[in-house]
A and B are shown apart, each in its own frame.
Chain A
Amino acid sequence: MIFQNSGRALQPSARRPSRSQRRRARSDAPYFFLSLCLCASVVNFARASESITILPQKFKLSGQAARQQLVVETIRDKQFVEQVTNQIIFSSSNPKILAIKNGVATPVADGTVTISAKVGRKTARTEVVVEGMAKPFEWSFRNHVQPVLAKAGCSSGACHGAAAGQSGFKLSLRGYDDESDYLMLTRNAIGRRVNPIDPGRSMILIKPTAAVPHKGGKKFEVDSIDYRVLAEWISSGALGPKNEDPRIQKIEILPDHVVLTNGASQQLLVRATFSDGHTEDVTHWTKFNAGNATVTQVDDDGLVKVVGNGEGPITAWYLSRIAIATVTAPYTNKVSSAVFAKAKRRNFIDDLVLEKLKSLNLPPSPRSTDSEFIRRVFLDTIGVLPTAQETRAFLTHKSTKKRDALIEQLLQRPEFVDYWSYKWSDVLLVSSRAVSGTQRLKPGAAWAYYNWIRQNVTANTPWDKFVRQMVVAQGSTLENGAGNFYVLHDNPRDAAENISLAFLGMSINCAKCHNHPMEKWTNDEYYQFANLFSRVRSKNGNGGDGDNIIFVSSDGDLVQPRTGKPQIPRPLEGQSVPIDSPEDRRQAVADWLTSPGNPYFTRSIVNRVWANYFGVGLVEAVDDLRATNPASNEKLLSAAAKFLIDQKYDLKALMRAILQSEAYQRSSIPLPENMGDRRFYSRYFTKRLMAEVLLDSISEMTKAPTDFKTDTARGGPAATPYPTGLRALQLPDSNVDSYFLKTFGQPAREKTCDCERTAEPNVTQVLHIANGDTINKKLEATNNVLSKWLEQKLPNEKIIKETFLAAFSREPSKVEKQKFLKVLNEAKPADLRPVVEDMVWAVLSSKEFLFNH
């Protein structure tokens, strides 16, 4: 990613908005001119497809406290494209039923009215029903007081929502526990926080208005609606949550998708629907969050500001419900639609990638050259460089189907098994490394675990079958390596959390202590899920060091600490299992995980495979799938997931589709118009070779293999060293003593997180490549490829050519060849070796070598 980041850093990004502003000014000028000189009909003709509308498009106002902020939006080509903010004249057909002031509709009496918004010559109308005005109104603790406390931040994790509360005042995180919060407010510390007799002296009014010192500072004003809600709730007797309270069903954001220009603003509206059917404008109490701050920013009131091009999701949170709106800010390129129409499409991936690129005005880069393709597809699929010979054969091959043929070969190569066994070993934490002094897996167990993975990759076991085997694993962990998962995660909570991370790409850990603030998972659901693993037990086997017998006990339950009772076992969204059923509850986990109806499972594996090839997941990061972190191309992720289900979880089928797609085969060189793209696959995104692949490639280039041995400092007695010639990608265990691998981000395999592997650049890497003992030793080795060349007295030109083909899968350019030849030829025969070493060193330390592109 080094390549990418600094590429952007060098862009004079500060200048960009002004350029686009100039362009917009230019494009607006003709309209201005026209409207001055010509009649209005011409103007209308010029924007014939444009209209305006009021948001919400149709709504009800229920009860005396109802209100609705109104937004007027321009529609072009059936899309919302701009919020109208100037000179809107709102009117109500009957102000005795509904009044509009400052763009906010308030109810007066029951009835139906038409409201209209007039902007210039355009008018938008909508019908509004006012109802329930005769009903006495009271603020509800559950539905009004809690949102005030959540929005003001009182119940946030940093304040009174913290596990320990603040200054003796503790609320549930974002108010998920109404009963306990109600008692905390009205009863705890002898009713300290709410004063029923002199409501104005209530702590929950004097603290947030900073009438007395408040560490959290001032949260709202005395004349705010928030103050009013709390004050009126208290003065009406501070009634608690009731069973018959309407419950929140869903929230929606208006508009949920809008196409805006860079620099534009958009007010979002949030409407909540309750179980009794009524809706409320809850924009004021919604917590907003911008998912991609480089494209959009959003303030506390839901006003979005576009600050860059691309797509920015905005998350809205209200009463534990979540909704997402997408703001698309197309790039300001002049790209004819023919570019997208003519672009080659191989399969559904191309259709959906191009659809997204078109909506963003991002032209795709041209197809990669054969040289680029062969190097890229080797590295991404099997983790090795193509040899000079393989490259030569491919480049000279004339068939138009040679790329497909190469893909097929690679999917069947033995190195494919090495590569993907290694990848899954990362996910499943195959390691005998000691973590804080204890070796969680003995070397024998790590081997068994690895071999089990390897067998399945070799057999190309469908992913659902592979996972099922692991989830229900039993018996000796040396005989059935899969059981080591339960040795690593030896309590129900760890097992549940790591299954979720590894196979759903989802972290449910938050829900261990409280309802998940950014997800739908509740504390109860967490304990339902974790209780499915409460009967997994292990005992020592007689197979020697590292042998554990995994078995399932017929009793035992995990206690939910909040209630002190076990929760009925149930997979997150599956059917619950009777608590007294004697069968292995993990069957229910496996059934639910791998059922085609489980969206998370398939999307997670699709995203992991996708990220391997494209460098950037459709969802980033690959283990952070959640409702509030949408995919950059949702249609594509859904389609790919459906494809994998149709292919019966054959991962090779998915890889084939990816590798064959034009999207994957694009050049990595950006066009000026798609330079800013980091998420939408307008080109192949370059990536630094992963640590193991880089080391293997250096070894292969020099024909000087790396010797690996166990890191004895990390636990275990000195093991026999691995056989010479074993590649880094063939290592079964992360417990290896290698400075190079550590420096370049080899994961320790201590926790299930893609973040363990880092591609972050650092100075140690630079220095190690330049001057460390990995490359230098390999260059100086006596039996390496250089020795062979010199022994065979290979002509200098041939040496250069071989080096380039092996390293870059291409021939040297004329200039390159000339320059290298000059130095090689000038060297005295006795000095030739160091000069050749320098040349290979220069190649190995080049960007073209270090990156896959």
Chain B
Amino acid sequence: MKSSSSFFALGSKFKIFGTIAHPSFSRLERVFKKIAASNVAQDCILLYRRFSTGRGPQKSERSPKAKPRQVANLPIQQLAKLRYKRKIIFPVIGLIFLCGLPALPDLPAAEKTDYESVHAIFDRHCMDCHESKDPEANLILENFESLMKGGESGGSIVPGKSSESLLVKMIEGKIEKEGKKLIMPPGKKKKLDAAEIATIKAWIDAGAPEPTDGKALVKELTVPKIAPKGQPRDSVNALAWSPQKKILAAARYGEVDLISGESRSLLRKLSGHRGGVNALVFSPDGSQLFSASGENALSGEIKQWNVADGSLVRTWEGHKDTIYSIAISPDGKTLGTGSYDQKIKLWDATTGQELKTLSGHNGAVFGLAFRPDGKILASASADRTVKLWDVAKGERRDTLTQSLKEVYGVVFSGDGKKLFAGGVDNRIRVWQISEAAAETTNPILESRFAHEGAILRLALSTDSKSLLSSADDRSVKLWDAMELKEKLVLESQSDWCAGLAFVANDQIISVGRLDGSLAFYNAKTGKIISTNSVAASVATQNSK
């Protein structure tokens, strides 16, 4: 039907398309869907309007007198082509053109081409997201090796070719992903300036040389010095008892108190720790004390002390955050530490040499315990799991996932067959651990609702018959370890008991609280024997 009116000719053409499925038409629809999904949806709206009234809406809206009455049409294909060209093809051509442009003249080359200057730039801009703990895109910029290894998109550095290095493209904003330009650091974070980019490029173009001294760069924290008003709370963070020496060690901020088991008076202070001491362990013979602390978010620190004279044997650093747990193998040769950096490290207790790093936890490691045979290490973590590790191989044997919330403490029974753990879900759980501790061979025996609050610490008596637990509802309970039956509930505590230990042949229970006080209870009756306040212990020390 060739009518003289082009409008009607068009109308019937459409109908032909409609009755026989026209392949080019369905393709057109796909294109339109794409456009609609992209940012040019506005154009589709325009198209819709143009299409439904040929005159276009703008005229009718601009002048109230001209009403959108007349019905006429523009061919949809034409419009589509037009739009398609204008909105998509032109920018694409533009982009190709831009990309094909000769590279801009390089900025004056930076003088330094050493790794240290590059690392300093990363430190300033990138470490919020590219630390080893939970790194974005799996790219860790902490050291030379991890930088060269790259992240989930592959290598970040192509030595000698800065323009081909992904890292350079990212900081220069040359990467596009899903239509969006990516630039690092992202969002509102400050971008690298030209000089910094030049430094990084120069180092890469010089072949990306290794750091000269090969040693990790030690971080120091500089903060304003703020003096506490009055006597600050000096919390007791952990307790450890040496049956051989009859000495109780109490961990505090930056130091450890050694307290006589008989007189319960302060023997000496072991000072000089960086940060709060959170974990203590005596060597099996009681002659040595290992204490662990750290600078939050920076590093962990371990000190070894001679108990007899209080002399410092060794200090070493490890971990990327404060250490929260420590344990020593029954032969006294291996030391394990767990940190807020989610890692466990094994050390040679006689030299302080690092043996292994056990990775796998996704939360801070708050509790550690060696099995009495020394072959298996159990760890309790904020990732809601307890893990069992093969000490010799440094491999994970099993993950116990029954806990509903963070797990804070673990202890092995004397025969090594039972493992106790407690944490934020208020429960004490007991597992039976097999010889090999392999997966599926460690069934849960019991799950006991133990406290009205998160369980903070567990301690087992030397005869394995009694278990102590403290919780954040300020309660401390004594349990029959075999039956997991409540034997005693101590009086409500003045603060959380982060320190918990059996002393004097399991006859006495000692607690150390976050308000700084220490207390001793009769393990049979639960009656209080004595309390050492902070002031008392300081007074004792002054009198010495």
Which chain A residues have a beta carbon within 8 Å of chain B's beta carbons?
2-3, 5-7, 9-10, 167-168, 183, 187, 189-192, 195-201, 203, 205-207, 210-217, 222, 231, 234-238, 365, 669-672, 675, 761-767, 769-773, 776, 813, 815-816, 819, 822-823, 826-827, 831, 834-835, 837-838, 841-843, 845-848, 850
Contact = CB atoms under 8 A, between A and B. Distances in A.
B254 A771 contact: no
Contact of B61 (A670, A761, A764): A670
A147 B389 CA distance: 44
B29 interface: yes
A207 B76 CA distance: 58
Contact of A213 (B61, B62, B131): B131
Contacts of B64: 365, 669-672
Interface stretch (B6-14, B150-158, B300-308, B369-377): B6-14
**Taking each of A203, A671, A763, which has the highest tally of chain B beta carbons within 10 Å of its own beta carbon?**
A763
B29 A843 contact: no
Contacts, number: 225
Contacts of B496: 187
A189 B322 CA distance: 10
Contacts of A826: 3-4
A206 B221 contact: yes
Given A191-B276, A763-B32, A847 B57 contact: yes
B232 A211 contact: no
Nearest to B129: A215
B24 to A, nearest CB: 12
Given A213-B128, A217-B128, A761 B19 contact: no
Nearest to B278: A190
A673 B189 CA distance: 43
A834 B10 CA distance: 12
Interface of B: 1, 3-5, 7-8, 11-12, 14-15, 17-19, 25, 29, 32-33, 35-36, 42, 44-49, 51-53, 57-58, 60-62, 64, 67-71, 73, 76, 127-129, 131, 133-134, 188-189, 221-230, 232-235, 237, 253-254, 275-276, 278, 295-298, 322, 324, 340, 363-364, 366, 382, 406, 472, 495-496, 498, 514
Contacts of A211: 221-223
Contacts of B76: 766-767, 770
A200 B222 CA distance: 9
A199 B35 CA distance: 57
B517 to A, nearest CB: 14
Given A214-B128, A847-B57, A192 B322 contact: yes
A674 B364 CA distance: 61
B48 A235 contact: no
Nearest to B4: A826
Given A10-B61, A198-B253, 6 more contacts: A197-B254, A201-B223, A216-B128, A217-B189, A835-B1, A850-B52
A703 B234 CA distance: 88
Contacts of B19: 776
The 6 closest A-B pairs by CB, nearest first: A763-B32, A838-B11, A200-B223, A196-B232, A212-B297, A213-B127
A766 B48 contact: yes
B121 to A, nearest CB: 14
Contacts of A831: 1
A417 to B, nearest CB: 32
Contacts of B33: 763-764
A767 B57 CA distance: 19
Contacts of B29: 763-764, 767
B166 to A, nearest CB: 22
B179 to A, nearest CB: 19
A195 B235 CA distance: 10
A820 to B, nearest CB: 8
A293 B280 CA distance: 57
A823 B340 contact: no
B58 A822 contact: no
Contacts of A167: 133-134
Contact of B223 (A197, A205, A850): A205
A190 B235 contact: yes
Contact of A190 (B14, B53, B324): B324
A201 B57 CA distance: 65
A765 B48 contact: yes
A213 B3 CA distance: 75
B49 A837 contact: no
Contacts of A766: 32, 44, 47-48, 51, 76
A313 B60 CA distance: 32
A787 to B, nearest CB: 17
A237 B233 contact: yes
A235 B45 contact: no
Contact of A776 (B18, B226, B296): B18
B71 A842 contact: yes
Contact of A763 (B4, B35, B61): B35
A38 B214 CA distance: 81
Given A9-B46, A236-B229, A763-B44, A846 B53 contact: yes
A207 B296 CA distance: 10
Nearest to A1: B45
Nearest to B19: A776
Contacts of A215: 128-129
A197 B11 contact: no
Contacts of B45: 2, 5-6, 9, 761
Contacts of B15: 771, 776, 834, 837-838, 841
Contacts of B49: 2-3, 6, 847
A553 to B, nearest CB: 28
Nearest to A3: B57
Given A847-B49, A847-B53, A770 B69 contact: no
30 contacts: A6-B46, A6-B49, A7-B57, A9-B42, A167-B133, A168-B382, A190-B324, A192-B296, A192-B322, A195-B253, A196-B228, A197-B253, A207-B297, A213-B127, A214-B128, A670-B64, A761-B44, A761-B48, A764-B29, A764-B32, A766-B48, A770-B76, A771-B15, A816-B69, A823-B3, A823-B7, A823-B8, A842-B11, A846-B71, A847-B68
A669 B226 CA distance: 68
Given A767-B32, A823-B3, A848 B69 contact: yes
A670 B278 CA distance: 73
Nearest to B223: A200
A208 to B, nearest CB: 12
Contacts of A842: 7, 11, 71, 73
Contacts of B46: 6, 9
Nearest to A237: B230
Nearest to B60: A669
B12 A834 contact: yes
A776 B14 CA distance: 10
Of listed A201, A206, A210, A835, residue having the most chain B CB within 10 A: A201
Contacts of B382: 168
B235 to A, nearest CB: 6
Contacts of B188: 217
A214 B127 CA distance: 8
Contacts of B225: 198, 200
A669 B60 CA distance: 8
A3 B61 CA distance: 9
Nearest to B185: A217
A772 B25 CA distance: 11
B458 to A, nearest CB: 15
Instruction: Pick from A9, A189, A826, A850 the residue with the most CB of B within 10 Å.
Output: A189
B3 A235 contact: no
B71 A206 contact: no
Contacts of B230: 236-237
Contact of A834 (B1, B18, B297): B1
Nearest to A193: B296
A183 B496 CA distance: 10
A841 B45 CA distance: 20
A190 B237 contact: yes
B69 A206 contact: no
B134 A199 contact: no
Contacts of B68: 847-848
